[in-house]
Amino acid sequence: MYHFALRSAQSFLVKRDRGRVNHVDRDQGLGYWFRMNRNAEDDLSVRRRLAAMEAERARLMADPEIAAAHLTCVAAHRARIADRMAAPEPAAFHAELTRERLRRLSRMLAHFGPSVFLAGPGAIPDSVLQTDPPADFFFTVPPDEARH
C-alpha cells in the first residue's frame, strides 16, 4: 500500500491548518515538511495496476451519491487551498516550501543523519547545497542541536 504523508505544497497548507491528531503540541512547519518530503525518486511500479484502479474508480463514480460526495470533497479541498493561499502567512509559508533550497534538500535526504531531521532544514549550511554530493557524503549535526 502506498501511503504518503504529503501530497503537494498546497495540500500541505490545508493539512497544517487542520492540525495534528497526534502530537498536537508540535507544529507541522518546515521541519515536518523537510522530514516527510521524500520525493527524491519516482516509483512507477504502481502503474501496472492503473487499469484496474481506473475500472474500480469508474465503478464507484457510477453511483451518483459517491460521485456527488467526491466532487463536493474535491471542491471543498480546492476552496480551502485558495483560502490559505490568499492569506499572507500561509502564502509566505507556501513560498518557503517551494523554494529551490528545499527542493534540492529533498533530493539529498539519504545523506543526512537523524539529528538533521530533528533540527530542521535550517541546520544545513548553504555550502552543502552548492554541488551534487558524492554517494558517500554524510552530514549531521550534534544531537544537542536537534529539536522537534
Domain boundary (92, 107, 122) is at 107
Residues 127 and 91 occupy one common structural domain: no
Give, for 97, the enclosing helix (H) or strand (E): helix 88-97
99 and 144 fall within a common domain: no
Is 44 in the same domain as 93? Answer: yes
Q: Are residues 101 and 124 in the same domain?
A: no
Residues 71 and 119 in one domain: no
> Which residue segment(s) compose the domain that 141 sits in?
110-148
Main-chain phi, psi angles of 139, to 5 degrees: -135, 135
Amino acid, single-letter form, for residue 60? L
Orientation of helix 64-86 relative to helix 88-97, angle to 10°:
100
Instruction: Kindly state whether residues 99 and 139 are assigned to the same domain.
Output: no
Residue 92: count other Cβ atoms within 10 Å of its Cβ.
10
C-alpha distances (whole Å) from 10 to each of 15, 16, 19, 30, 84 are 9, 10, 15, 14, 8
Number of domains in the chain: 2
Could you read off the pLDDT tens digit of each residue along the chain, which spans 148 residues?
Answer: 455 778 889 999 999 988 777 766 777 888 889 988 887 777 788 899 999 999 999 999 999 999 999 999 999 999 999 999 999 999 999 999 999 999 899 889 889 999 998 889 999 999 988 878 898 999 999 887 666 5
Residues 70 and 46 in one domain: yes
- DSSP letter (8 states) at residue 133: P
